Structure 1
Amino acid sequence: MKMHNFKLKESGLNRFFGPLESKIMEILWTSSSDMTIKDVQQKLDEDKAINFNTVMTVMNRLVEKGFLQKQSVARSFHYKPVMTMDAFMETQSKELTFDLIEQFGSLAVTHMVDALDKVDPELLDQLEQHILNLKKDR
């Protein structure tokens, strides 16, 4: 699932979602089970009071966008993420990387390698090993 809006100046999940969407997704990803709208609202209320209808609207939009599944259980709806947070981040980082390389080619690769060296030199060693493994498999 490809995100259409990536906010460069934001951080974490806010790069992909609006602020309330991010909080809702984080709550659902850290939950050990499906949750109702009321469950999520109560978790959100620990920060500040958020209207039930607002939470319901945002959660249903996340269903429409394909990020949440909605299931009728007894007399309520239960929601759960379509994929784990790790799977989501993996998918998004892969899509972003492909888009950058498709648009900017070797410039993007050069800047990524420079960033690896500045952020964590060990990542540069991991990249080198990954490239060697890819060349072996050809």
Structure 2
Amino acid sequence: MRQLGELEAEIMHRLWAWGRPATARDVLTDLNKKRPLAYSTVKTVADILHRKGMLRREKEGRAWVYEPTGTRQQYTAALMQDALGGNPDPAGALVSFVEQITPEEADALRAALRTAKRRSGA
């Protein structure tokens, strides 16, 4: 999975944060609070995200209503998996990663490992 472009990420972050389906017009209204964009630009990027499988859409009246197909956490995990999978030394990459994270992030990583262990029954 490739990393999202700037506008793709802005659209996805809003939809994930809202936790509800939204139209391109809804997204545009929020985006225009920070910078002016054309409706057609937002609509085109939402359609691209749909084709990539990041968004599902359903017709509501004359407009498409979009919602993410996965969570922000699932997207982030897929990016991390791709980074590790493409590295000839995944253990080395993990060591470098752990050396760079904050103590709070290290605590979160330990908690995640414990949760994963419980879920797998190990």
In the superposition, the TM-score normalised over structure 2's length comes to 0.76
Q: Rg larger in 1 or in 2?
A: 1
Aligned to 2:20: 33
Between the aligned partners of 1:86 and 1:122, the Cα distance in structure 2 is 15
Aligned to 2:43: 56
Aligned to 1:104: 89
When residues 90 and 54 of structure 1 are mapped into structure 2, their CA distance, relative to the original with a 3 A threshold, is same
Amino acid at match of 2:43: M
Provide the alpha-carbon RMSD of the alignment.
2.8
Between the aligned partners of 2:69 and 2:91, the Cα distance in structure 1 is 34
Matching of residue 120 in structure 1 with residue 103 in structure 2? yes
Between the aligned partners of 2:47 and 2:7, the Cα distance in structure 1 is 13
| Gapped regions of structure 2 (runs ≥ 5) | none
When residues 67 and 123 of structure 1 are mapped into structure 2, their CA distance, relative to the original with a 3 A threshold, is same
* CA deviations over 1:31-76 (Å, ceiling 9, x no partner): 1310001001001011011000111111111111111111112221
User: How far did 1:29 drift?
Assistant: 0.7
Amino acid at match of 2:26: D
| Gapped regions of structure 1 (runs ≥ 5) | 4-15
Q: How many residues align?
A: 116
In the superposition, the TM-score normalised over structure 1's length comes to 0.68
